[in-house]
Amino acid sequence: MEQLVKLTGVKKSYKLGQTLVPALRGINLEIHAGEFTSVIGASGSGKSTLLNLAGCLDLPTEGSIQIAGQEVTRMNESQQSDLRNEKIGFIFQSFNLIPVLNVWENVELPLLVKAKLSPDERKSRVESVIKAVGLESFQHHKPDQLSGGQRQRVAIARALVTNPSLVLADEPTANLDSKTAHMILDLMADLNKKQNVTFLFCSHDEKLIGRVGRIVRIQDGVIVE
């Protein structure tokens, strides 16, 4: 199985005034193609920091990060940006949709920076992912006309439209009620199974544990069994 993410000896500290606060204390983790993995941990355990590093949104204080075989720590900002655009899709707990754009336009947005894509290919991709998340009849709605679950479906479609190797989701069900959260997880699991989309998401919700393929527990910046 193709190795998508490899973190080796990864440490990350943040400066808080004059104090150095360790967020990650030596993480070793591998994510392979087709996996459906959840990083579970309490608030402040380091799971969001881990996700940011896996998504090339931040660099470690120490250690190695490889994404699709490429060493991220040796890249400049432009190369990291290219890697993110080509390989990684993001789903955020606050949805991060553009209020003035409708569903179709929000989903299309990441494709507009891809100059090589023809308008027909762009249209085909947007149609395909909107259908995959079951929002065909809502494609002309603005975000404020949608429920929380529907907005998260738009966010998932937007993450998938670039055909990423890896989709990262930070607490994707945190702002949803229990029933909707399970529906969103069902959708992600379905996409994982049918389209082999690789998901790595973090959550503090123990109720979701039985729904994923693999659990990685993090506590005080280290992975625990």
H-type alpha helices, 27-147: 47-54, 77-87, 103-108, 119-132
Instruction: Give pLDDT, residue 93.
Output: 82
Angstrom distance (rounded) from CA 109 to CA 171? 22
Q: What is the pLDDT of residues 98-119, one digit of tens each?
A: 999 999 999 999 999 887 899 9
- 76 C-beta neighbours (distance < 10 Å), count: 8
In this prediction, residue 174 has a pLDDT band, given cuts at 50, 70 and 90, of confident
Q: What are 5's strand-pairing partners?
A: 31, 67
In this prediction, residue 95 has a pLDDT band, given cuts at 50, 70 and 90, of confident
Cα 42 to Cα 58, 60, 101, 158, 168, distances in angstroms: 21, 21, 35, 28, 18
Instruction: Give pLDDT, residue 136.
Output: 96
Written as six digits, the tokens of 74 are 């040796």
Bigger pLDDT: 181 or 225?
Answer: 181
Tell me: pLDDT of 208 over 90. Answer: no
Q: What are 24's strand-pairing partners?
A: 12
Written as six digits, the tokens of 32 are 């392979």
Angstrom distance (rounded) from CA 203 to CA 51? 11
**Which domains, ranges and CATH numbers included, belong to the chain?**
3-224 (3.40.50.300)
Tell me: pLDDT of 206 over 80. Answer: no
